[in-house]
Structures are given as C-alpha cells and as structure tokens.
A and B are shown apart, each in its own frame.
Chain A
Amino acid sequence: MADLFDKFEGLTNLRNTLVFEKTDPYKIVMEDVISPTEAIIDGKHTILAGTNNYMGLTFDQRCIDAAQNALTMSGTGTTGSRVLNGTYAAHRELEAAIADLYCMEHAMVFSTGFLANLGMISALAGKNDIIMIDADSHASIYDGCGLSDATITRFRHNDAADLDKRLGRLNAGRRVLVIVEGLYSMLGDKAPLADIVAACKKHDAYLMVDEAHSLGPYGANGQGVAAADGVLDQVDFIVGTFSKSVGTVGGFCASNHPDFEILRLASRPYMFSASLPPSVVASATAAIKIIKEDRTPQQNLWRNAKQLHAGLTEMGFQLGADCSPVIAVLIDDRDVAVRSWEQLLDEGIYVNLALPPATPQNTNLLRCSLSAAHTPDQIDQILAAFDKVKNSNSVNQS
C-alpha cells in the first residue's frame, strides 16, 4: 500500500549519507543549561557558541524577576487568542515598548517570529499583489508567501541593482511588497538596506525588513540594521522575534501605516492562535527595555565577535562574511564539516552544523553565533578548539 511517508525517501537517504560517529545534531540534548553560554551535553561541560543568544539575556535577573512576578500575578497562560480572551494589559505594554523602540505608531505581537512572518505576509499581500523576496530568505518568509494569494517572485541575494531591475519589469499599478532580512542568519551577511530602500522608493514598493538576528546587535538603540543604516523611518514594516536577543519566545511587527490596526482582524495566524503567556510577555518587555537603554551587552557582543572573527581569519579559515555576531566557517568537504562539528563538540564547543539544502550556495557551514555573555576566555577556548580541529583534519586530508 502507498504510504504517506513515501515522499520522505529522498530526505531519509540524504540523512543517511551523513556519517556521524558518536552523536549528531538531532540527538543532542542539553541535560542542564547553566548559563547563557554553558550547558551540560552528554555529561560534559560545553560552551554554547550557536544559540542566537546575542544579548545573553536568558538568565538576566531583571528579566527573570519580571517573568516570575507575572507568573505569580497573572498565571501560566492566557488560554486564548488575542481577539477572544487573550489580550492582557501586559500585551499592550509590550506592543507599546516595541513601537517606542522603533519610533513607530503601531506594533503587533505574535506567538513566534515564524507566525509574525506568516501573519503579516499572508494578510498584507492579496490576490492581485506581488511579493518580491530576497532569494536567501528564511523559511518563514517563504511560507508566509505560500500562505498568501499573491504572485511571488525573487531577486538575487543582497543585490539592490537586481531588485531595481526586477521591480522595473513589473506592470505599473500592481502593488508590490519587497521583503528582506537585516542580517542573514546562515552566513552572517548584512543587507545593503540603504540601496534596497532606494530601489523600493524608486518603484513605489512597500518594504518589510525582518530583523530577527539584528535586533540587539545593530543600531544605536539595538533596533537593527535599518536603524544602523539610518533608514528605519523609510521601512514600512519591521518584523522580528523574541527568540534570539530578547531571550524568550514570540514575534512582532512594527509599522507607521495608519490602517495597521485592521490587521488584528485580518491576520489569521494572529487571530487563531493563543497569545503569549504573561511570563513571556513580561520578560520580553524587560529585555526590550534593556536592549534599548543598556549599551553594555551590545558592546560586549561586538568585542566577542571581533575576537572570534579575527582569530579564525588568522588561522586561515574561510568565513561567510565580514565580522558580525554570526560567524560561519565554510568547509569545502561535507564529510570534513560533519567530522569537524563532532570534534568541536568533543572539545566542549557547541556550534551549528548547517548543510545544503538549508544553506546558501550549497555551502557546508560550522555556524557560530556569539553572545554578549561570552567571556574573552571562552572565545579563546572556542578558537583553540577550532585550531585543533583544523590541524587534525588537514592531517586527515593529506
């Protein structure tokens, strides 16, 4: 009999060609998480260098206190969506904090960043509209497009001239929504937002920027790349997540569009999924304020990123991009990448193994993400482990 799972045969085969010796990324369990940068994995003390915990706020006392207080005062969950019984005063406060961070009139909170993209894209772009996305967009952007009734098209990754050319091809009169990310999460490359804004303005297109990985690291108040590049006021929709720098879970969109609030009655992923629980809302609100007002985590993060980027460059590793809080080491051979990932773990360093088709240009990546909470000594340990791995693998290769 035909099996619904027959379609996964190719995926299963691909999975089986990856030869791990002892463990693999799907089997990893963090038995005990000690701090934003340390966990016990398979009984061993491990430095976490792949958790997107950019600001290191997951154990911040101010966030924990806010969450604990909310848990005690308001309970464990809202048991409903925002349009039914799920809007608490604290949701409004969080939305006000986000609107304030981006100097925008409106903000709307979703239950994850993935849902924020699904909810915004599917509601904004209708049957006669066109969405033009960067080819290297995150899965949630692709899936948001899939959920919309719009015509979907792409432009070449981070290529504003290509965007300009492709926008020029479209029939005048069609409404166009362009979607890009601030910082791309696999290679750690930044979008050329000033040029992208210029192309959108020239062709009268709306622009949405997903700052998932750039909220926190970039901008004078941590708003992201649009603020850092001085074009925040020219972006129509900022999307982001609480799951990285904010240290909890959830997503949002901020905008100055005068009719923005109608989306609360039009966006299905917003309307038909339960709202964030009070403790999450409270720690997110506390974290957003820290990101806005406290420059120390941002400074520490960049100190760490520079140390790791310079050290890996000096060792001769090929890196995905200029220095950013995401540092991807490119490995030509997939099996070497797999083996190196295991060796790093063996050395007590956890990074992300990223392989095609999840990576741009079919690259094999050992992806590191830095945290403000890393110490210079931990970065030295990460570098020492990479050095060891490099030496052992060049021995193996020759």
Chain B
Amino acid sequence: MTSVSTLLDAIIKLLEPFNSKSITISGDTSFAHDLELDSLAVMDFVAEMEDHFDIMIPLNILPDLENVGQIVAAVEKIVEQAHG
C-alpha cells in the first residue's frame, strides 16, 4: 500500500522533467502559476503518471486539480480503486 508521502515523492520525481525553472516542488506547488505548465506539458505529465502507476486519469478531473497535493489525492484514490 503506497503511503501519501511516498506517493508525493514519486509524483514530484515524475514532475522534475517539467520543472524548467528548477523550483522546489511541494504539495502547494501550482501547475499553472509556479510550474507554468502549458497544456502539452500537462498532457505529457498525465501520461507519465498513468504509465508509472498503471492507471487511467480521466481528462474530466484535470480542471479541478490545480496543485501537486490535489494530484496526489486524486492519484491515491484512483490507485486504490484500480488495484485495491
């Protein structure tokens, strides 16, 4: 069972290639304002997470996920549903 802190670490690691300004990423880091991800980068990042955790992250939920902490919570829920 993945704990939230290891999940956070894993997601931060997946985010690093998109961290073009080399900022310190935490749960509060926002995708649009802090990381300045454009829609193409978001797409790539979502695909990376899907492959890493072997899950499907619906496009429908993305507009509500503004920071890293919210992604962690969403992924935790999806992983739990998918893999029990």
Contacts and interface: CB of A to CB of B under 8 A. Distances in A.
Interface of A: 130, 135, 145, 151-154, 156, 165-166, 169-170, 356-357, 360-362
B82 to A, nearest CB: 8
Contacts of B56: 130, 151, 153, 166, 169-170
Contacts of B43: 135, 154
Contacts of A156: 47
B58 A153 contact: yes
A357 B40 contact: yes
A156 B60 CA distance: 17
Nearest to B61: A151
The dominant DSSP class at the B interface is: helix
Nearest to A152: B59
B38 interface: yes
Given A156-B47, A357-B39, A362-B40, 5 more contacts: A151-B58, A152-B60, A153-B56, A154-B46, A169-B55
Interface of B: 38-40, 43, 46-47, 50-51, 54-60, 82
Contacts of B50: 166, 169
A153 B59 contact: yes
Contacts, number: 37
A169 B52 CA distance: 12
Given A156-B47, A169-B54, A151 B40 contact: no
> Which among B38, B54, B55, B58 has the highest number of chain A CB atoms within 10 Å?
B58
B50 to A, nearest CB: 7
A228 to B, nearest CB: 29
9 contacts: A130-B56, A154-B47, A154-B59, A166-B56, A169-B82, A356-B38, A357-B38, A362-B38, A362-B40
A156 B51 CA distance: 12
B18 to A, nearest CB: 13
Contacts of A362: 38, 40
A360 B43 CA distance: 12
Contacts of B59: 145, 152-154
Contacts of B57: 153
